[in-house]
Each structure stands twice: as structure tokens, then as C-alpha cells.
Amino acid sequence: MAELSPFSIDPWMPIIHRMERGFACFGILLNCILLSMIVHRSPSEIGVYKYLMMYITIFELFFGGLEIITVPQFHTMGSQFFVFIVPEIIEMSDFVLQISAMIYCGSFANSLAIFAVLFAYRYQVLSGNTSWTSLNLRNAMFWGTVPLFVGLFWTVSTRIFLGRNTFFDIALSRDPSLAKFQNIRFGFIGSFFYPQLADGTKVINWDSFIGMAFSTCILFGSEYLMLFYAVKSYLLTKTLMQSACSAIYKKLQWQLFYALVSQTFIPILLMQVPMSAIFVSIFFDMSTPTLGHIQTFTISIYLATDALPTMFIIKPYRDKIIYRIQCIASIFKAVLPGQSRTNSSVVEMSSRHIS
């Protein structure tokens, strides 16, 4: 039976949840700003790629909103990995809670697939394959639905193989760290590789192995495609520098490439690396609650920071942001000295009145 650590982080969880919501709100603000700039400030040379940038920005707005409403809680211990959706802000039925848990897990997979699609599209643009990059219904359906199908596949597989079962109910009744979930309603997705039966015998939960195998394939498959098309895009971008294209176009292509690399590095570092660590640790029956807490927190940091590379690397967006910052700074400079003069006048008049 698992024991609660005297250094349990549970007393701090309400504060951590507020911080996660704060990060998600900040990310929504940044993505709203970025979406406005993509729509109104994108140079014509970006072409159809503009719509894919809008696509990922809108998705991150949705993911951030889902994070704020649900505030998922990850539980890791031994060979257990559970995702709980607890209705803290909006009252939800059991059905809606379970659907929310599935959508959240599907959004996680979708966010990984989107970046692989973006690199694949960048490669097609740089290689001049206009049949796959021109703006038409077929291309829009293909590039837009691939991440959705990946997310749907992840969602269905988790629903079939990682749903609530008798092994989880045993863990819920025995594990003190899960006691807070015993008398409340929640949505649930999770795996338990080596559950212990009532007589103390450990068995292999093959459903969990199958479900996590699907998740692992999506996780590493998306990483492979990202790396494959990132390298090919880099090589083509270097070749483009020797072409007769304008200097502005060449510089823009490098900016788009570096922005995409930076934007992709954030979810790899903050989502894929912690999730891979969880997968390995539960396979060897040696996971700890710390890993689950890290994963929940890093997802919210990802939502808060992923828009920044695009905003500050692509020059038209960066120039607009700097201009707005300078305008705000000039307003403060104009207002604050005025306040100082007003305060000085008041003090001087008071002194004269007293004397």
C-alpha cells in the first residue's frame, strides 16, 4: 500500500492550480494578440502558411480554455498514471466530465501532431510542390484534418483501453494519495500496468499496455516526423539562399523556419519530455507523484509561452509589438511627469496657505 509522504505537495495544490490557470489565461491573451497580427500584419510572401499559423493559434486558444475550465490533475505512482478532471469552476455531469477528459487527452495528441504537419508543409513550400501548398479545399481538408485524426485516434484508443476499470477501483480504495477522489465525481483516463489483486498478487494489465503502446507510437511518431522534415526544411532553406529570390523573401523564410523550430522546441521540452519520463517510469513500476505534478505544470507553461517565438522572431509581428510597447511607454512618460508637476503644485499651495 502506498503511503503519503510527510513532504506531500497536496497542501500546495490549490495555489498550483491557480498558477496553472494564470499561465493559461496569459497564454490566451498572447494567442489573441498573435492571431490579430497574423490576420492583419502578415506579409503577402507568407502565402497559405498564414492559415496554418491561424489554425495552431486557434487550437491553442481552445486548449488554453479547456485547461482553465478543467484544470486536469495527473497522478503518478509506481505503475499508475491517472488523469483526473474535477469540476472546480463549472458543474458538469458524469458524462460531460468523461468527455472532457477524453477531449483533453486528444488535445494533447493534437498539439504534437500540428507541429509535424507544419514542418511537412514548410518542406512542401520550399520544394515548390504547389499541388500540396496552393489554397484549395482538398489541401485545406488534408492539412487541417491530419492533426484532428491523430487526436481522434489517441482519444478513441484511450477511451477503449485506458478507461475506468476494476483495477483502478482497487487502487482508489487502497492508495491514500487517491483518498481525495473517493467521494467526488470526476472524469478519468489512466493506465495501471501492474495492479495488485485482493490477495496481494500482482498481474499485468494488458489493456494499459495496449493503450500506452498506441500513445507511445503517436508520441515518437510525431517527434520523428518533426525531426525529419525540420532537417529537410533547413537544407532547402540553405539552398534557397543561393537562388534569385529577393533578399526580403529569403530573410522571411529563415524567420519562419526559426520561429517554427523555437515554437516546436517548447512543447517537446515541456510536454513530450515529461510525458516520455512518465511512460518509462510507470513501465518500470518506479514512478513518483512528482512526475505527475511536473507534467501538469509544464503543460500550462507551454500554453503561456508557445506564442512568443512567432511574435518576436517574425519581423512584421515584432515591429508591431515594439511599436505598441513604445506607444504605451510614451503615454506613461507623458502622464507621470504631469502627475509629478500637479503634486508639486499642490504641495507648494499648501505650504503657502499654512504660512
Distances (CA, A) of 169 to 67, 74, 191: 26, 17, 12
pTM: 0.84
Helices marked H in 177-307 — which ranges? 206-240, 247-267, 273-283, 289-305
pLDDT at 9: 63
**In the chain, what are the domain boundaries?**
10-313
Distances (CA, A) of 117 to 50, 121, 165, 223, 343: 14, 6, 35, 11, 58
Query: What is the Cβ-side half-sphere exposure of residue 180, based on CA atoms within 13 angstroms?
Result: 10
Strand partners, 287: 78
pLDDT at 301: 95
pLDDT values of the chain reduced to their tens digit, one per residue, 355 residues: 444 444 456 667 778 888 989 999 999 999 999 999 999 999 888 888 999 999 999 999 999 999 888 878 898 999 999 998 887 666 778 888 888 889 988 888 898 899 999 999 999 988 888 888 888 888 889 999 999 999 999 999 988 999 888 888 888 888 777 877 777 778 888 999 999 887 778 899 999 999 999 988 988 888 899 999 999 999 998 888 887 778 888 888 899 999 999 999 999 999 989 999 999 999 999 999 889 989 989 999 999 999 999 999 999 999 999 998 999 888 888 887 655 455 544 445 444 444 4
pLDDT at 339: 54
- The CATH number of the structural domain formed by 10-313 is 1.20.1070.10
